[in-house]
Amino acid sequence: MAETTPRPAQAVGPADEPRWLTADEQVAWRSYLLGSARLAEALNRQLEEDAGISLSEYEILVRLSEAPLRTIRMSELAASLMHSRSRVTHTVTRMQKRGLVDRRTCLDDGRGVNCVMTEAGWQLLVRSAPGHVRAVRENLVDLLPAGQFAALGEAMGAVARGPARDASDVTG
C-alpha cells in the first residue's frame, strides 16, 4: 500500500526514491481501496446468497455468454479477467464439477483448451443476472451522479490500459 512520508511532496531525491503521495492523494487512494473492497464484497455476497456462485464464477459465465458459441480459449479467458491461468483453471474446475461449464480441446491446434458454457451455466446466468444488476445499481451506479459515474468509467479505463510505455520499453 502507498504510504505518506513526512517529506514535502515537492522534495526531489535520488531517482530510485518514491514520489510520495500528497495528503489529498492518500485520501483518494484509501477511498478507492475501501470502496472497491466494499463493492466487491457486496456483489460477491449477493451472488452467493441469491445464486450460489462467486463474483469470479459469474464473470466467467458473462464472458462465455458474450463469446461466439459460448466458448473461449482458457488463456484468453484468464487474460480477459486479469486473473492468472492457475486461478482461472481452479475456478473453471469447480464450475465444471457443478455442470456449469465444460472443457474441450481446441479444434484449431489441438494444444489449447476451450472453456464452454453448458446449458446449466446459461440458465444460472439468466436467473442470476437481474439480482446482480440490482446490486450493481444499489452499490455503485445509483450512489453517483451521472457525471461522476462517467468519470469513474473513464478513470478505470485509463487504469485498465496501464502506464504508457515509450519506444525503448517496447523495443527493449
100-157 pLDDT tens trace: 999 998 877 767 899 999 999 999 999 999 999 999 999 999 999 999 999 999 999 9
Which DSSP category does 142 fall into?
A: G
Is residue 92 a contact partner of residue 101, using CB atoms and an 8 Å limit? yes
**End-to-end CA, the chain:** 29
Which DSSP category does 73 fall into?
A: E
Cα angle 125-37-152, degrees, rounded to a multiple of 5? 80
Q: Determine whether 74 is exposed, middle or buried from the number of CB atoms within 10 Å of its CB (0-12, 13-18, 19+).
A: middle
Is residue 40 a contact partner of residue 55, using CB atoms and an 8 Å limit? yes
49-71 pLDDT tens trace: 999 999 999 999 999 999 999 99
Kindly state the cell numbers that stand for 88. 482461472
The pTM score is: 0.80
Sign of the torsion angle spanned by Cα atoms 106, 93, 44, 52: positive
Per-domain boundaries in the chain: 24-146
Q: What is the mean pLDDT of the chain?
A: 88
DSSP H helical ranges for 16-145: 23-51, 55-66, 74-81, 85-97, 119-139
What CATH topology corresponds to 24-146? Arc Repressor Mutant, subunit A (1.10.10)
Q: Which of 36, 101, 93, 20 is nearest to 65 (CA)?
A: 101
Q: Which of 63, 50, 58 is nearest to 94 (CA)?
A: 58
Q: What is the pLDDT of residue 106?
A: 83
